[in-house]
Structure 1
């Protein structure tokens, strides 16, 4: 079967040349086209790469001779990190259709995944790493990188490393060539929505309503990375409309929870002029891990054990006022149509009479701050409903359809699926 992608195999050929050669040879035997990229710096490569370290370093505006003379591993790693990302980005712009696999320890993993993150979502990416059994968020980010743990360090070929390398090569071959046909790509316009367990009934109903109208809705779990991933797809042009029902990541950013999406959350759609309908789902909560991980400065606050690994903390009236001001500032800068819907009877599944986070004073502080600060470009809609009431979901869907009608160039059936045109 003809390969869908050629494969970039990336590694430090001075320290892991034998392992990289093993991967290359196994992929070639599988009938795939392979390009070896050398990201080593300090010692001579064990064999000649298809893409030299000099070419990668030039992409970062540096020279190998200067890096070698400096004998500074940190500087060399940083240069390769920048260089590989720039080199892959330039090839993507020229229309190359390539998957990528790599092998590495801590430095090699950081360098290689910087390149992988420049590839489109949907393109095969596999990182065989000594770091893959820990926190991989710095390496994966919002991309669809497959992280595979190496179990042992790479110090040459032996019976164990050969088996693990073979499995990695075969997995990559399966992703890139020996595979069943992909499902037929939908031509429906892609929309994005944000969801938490505490806003699931609302989002599920909105999804049902809009898909009945011919749209395709991608739902992102608002866990920090989820919000970032959604906004990446907005920036890359895959998502044509946003239903940001669950903006809880702003609370983690403001208060110091573990699920922040960073300071620029809720800015991508506005910056691109993409129509968006926004609500305040789960702004009543800040997320932490197990109870013992909650910082001591929050002693005495109201907590709710969502599960053994997740502890929720209720936001205060003061925090809600600040959240309202933050949300308004972001929406006021939007370049496209934007609607803000407020569910006046509660903003999450546990913010309801008789539920643990029911706090009308805190909610009113949020609503008042939004009323006082949203600009004339924001259509403000208030409903005497809970966020999970069916009527609220119906209002969200209706407002989005109105936004779509007035958006220039927006029509059902003009979307794209990530990665298919890479």
Structure 2
């Protein structure tokens, strides 16, 4: 039987969690009820499958008892322990949780730790607002609870029943990621690198399932999440632009873990400088005051771009090089010498040979080249069809090496 983990705080959500458990079991799934309560006055129930103390033992660095008297610290510690507990379980075919803001924050990281494709449902009082901090780059399905998750009533019974039947349906009718027999590769694209990525996808599409991710912060995280989840055989990271926003305060930043999935997995990686000439802000009136005198370009009414300076390009190049130095698998990084975006070319608003030269020199100076880790300059624009051919050739070489 498929196994669904029902997770929540039984000290405050006991009836709701048992209701979920019973419905999922009736639908034909095995169920494991996991209690992650943090109240020191909570008493253990005999029919709970996993008690809080058992989950807490998975914390990599257990906090001291006096620290756990602070509820915020206790929730954070239990959340971290739950991540490690869920990762240790080989039988998680699906996971469902229910809670308020605290329970949502506690449970969501464990859901994010699971691979893409494992069904995840989270019934929450905060699911009607900005759910990005909870969902992140994963496929968590969040359902607004309508009433508070505080006992069973005529509304909560219906909402929770829908959630229970949805997770059971997902688990019992799961379509595997291998439905397409072609191996999957990830590609990162931004509007100003679209011709390059489309050319790469056309060239490789016969042999590979090309998954394109929009490089808007979450897109890059999803790209690497799939690599971490074992769902990709490699990546062609054309558009590393999220690094600019991370270092310079733009609205589409990566996380400090950018490139980390390839360092951890050793998967073949081919990267480039796509859109490293820009930082993204919102509408023109949302650009921070300290940047109003900079070279700005209105990409659309909601997005304003700022050209990166030589000094900023040095920071960007060094940061990328240092992160790629952590990768032990095949790495190829190609520098398009004639421009890194559609608006970085002679006559275009972000054409700046001095800034590009600083970026390219910083990459060359920082990246430690080895037999596996290589960097090459290519005397082409990033959107030149021939540059796409170079990316394809290098990816095939890296894949063979891997």
- Judge same fold: TM > 0.5, yes or no: yes
Structure 2 residue runs without a partner (length 5+): none
* CA deviation map 1:285-330 (0-9, x unaligned): 1122333433222121122233343322111122123222333333
Report how many residues are paired: 398
Secondary structure at the aligned position of 1:15 is classed as helix
1:285–1:312 Cα contact (<8 Å) kept: yes
Compare 292-301 and 390-399 and name the one that shifted more.
Answer: 292-301
Change in Cα spacing, 1:152 to 1:317, as seen in structure 2 (3 Å) is same
Separation of aligned partners in 1, 2:142 and 2:398: 40
DSSP 3-state at the match of 2:179 = coil
From the superposition, tell whether residues 8 and 197 of structure 1 become closer, same or farther in structure 2 (CA, over 3 Å).
same
Which residues in structure 2 correspond to 1:90-109 (within 5 Å)?
Answer: 90-91=88-89, 95-109=90-104
What CA distance in whole angstroms lies between the structure 2 residues aligned with 1:263 and 1:82? 19
Query: Does the C-alpha gap of structure 1 residues 97 and 251 become closer, same or farther in structure 2, counting only changes over 3 Å?
Result: same
Match of 1:173 among 152, 155, 168: 168
Q: State the distance in 1 between where 2:174 and 2:246 align.
A: 42
Distance change in 2, residues 1:145/1:308 (3 Å): same
Match of 2:20 in 1: 23
Per the alignment, in what secondary structure is the counterpart of residue 16 of structure 1? Answer: helix
Q: Which residue of 2 aligns with 1:34?
A: 31
Cα distance in 1 for partners of 2:198, 2:175 equals 29
**Secondary structure, counterpart of 1:34 in structure 2:** strand
Aligned to 1:80: 78
**Distance change in 2, residues 1:73/1:367 (3 Å):** closer
Alignment of 1:17-416 (within 5 A): 17-42=14-39, 43-44=41-42, 48-60=47-59, 71-91=69-89, 95-177=90-172, 179=173, 185-212=179-206, 214-270=207-263, 272-377=265-370, 378-405=373-400, 407=401, 410=402
Cα deviation digits, residues 380-420 of structure 1 (max 9, x gap): 43333221121111111112222333x1xx4xxxxxxxxxx
Instruction: Kindly report the root-mean-square deviation, in angstroms, between the aligned alpha carbons of the 2 structures.
Output: 2.9
CA separation of 1:248 and 1:8: change in aligned 2, threshold 3 A: same
Q: How far is 1:49 from its partner?
A: 1.8
1:193/1:76 CA distance change after superposition, 3 Å? same
Per the alignment, residue 414 of structure 1 pairs with none
Segments of 5+ residues of structure 1 without an aligned counterpart are 411-422
Partner of 2:7: 10
Aligned-partner Cα distance in 1 for 2:274–2:381: 10
CA distance in 1, matches of 2:247, 2:151: 48
Partner Cα separation in structure 1 for residue 315 and residue 212 of structure 2: 27
Shift of 1:46: 9.7
Distance of 1:21 and 1:180 partners within structure 2: 24
**Deviation for aligned residue 1:333:** 4.5
- Give how far 1:99 is off: 0.7
Quote how far apart the aligned CAs of 1:154 are.
1.9
